[in-house]
Structure 1
Amino acid sequence: MARRYKSTEKTRAMCLAALGVVKVATPAQIRALTAPGHKDAATIRGGLKDLEDEKLVEASGKTSRLTDSGARIYETLWTLTTAGLEAAAAVLGRPVKQMGARRRTRWRAGRSTR
């Protein structure tokens, strides 16, 4: 199967494993957890976008951070879909029941919206 962002199986598995554990993360956070030697999160972003095409992850909002120079960077937050939770369980070798629930609440401006 040709993937639009040309991510590898290893990259997609790292993304699923990380989100299976932490539930919500930015590509930079996933990179720091799973591939700290990579210069930037572009590889992880490609993997997440390919997983999104497969309906295994979804963008669940935005967050921002300041760089060392003080510039504000906006990043997408990613989370697993129900099918993604099952795929992450398979990658981690755990039963789905031990994975916990997927993130269901969206947070905006410091408060929960359902």
Structure 2
Amino acid sequence: MARTILIVDDHPSFRSSARRVLEAGGFTVVGEAPDGASGYTAARDLRPDVVLLDVGLPDADGFVVADRIKRLADPPDVVIVSSRDPSDFGPLVSGCGACGFVAKADLSGDAVAALLP
């Protein structure tokens, strides 16, 4: 059975390309959100298996949003994504409850799946 995923990123072009890549990789995209507030609401309401969450959102830090999402009842797995290098974030990825990080340039269904428990 395909895992469901929510894409949270402020760039429509990235959301569109991520949707194509993830669907080709076996995920079912159940929603998209352009900012942290709508991303949290969508995670709560749509109950995806996974949230692909950008670090740089217009209204919130992605690490703060990840922490909020992980506090939901039966929370989804969270994978952080950014165009920046993962070394820029140090322990912030694991500290927010995310199961890992994927650089936007390296995004694939396999890369996300490899991070999931």
TM-score, with structure 2 as normaliser: 0.26
Q: Which structure would you say has the larger Rg?
A: 1
Higher relative contact order (CA 8 A, sep 6+): 1
TM-score, with structure 1 as normaliser: 0.27
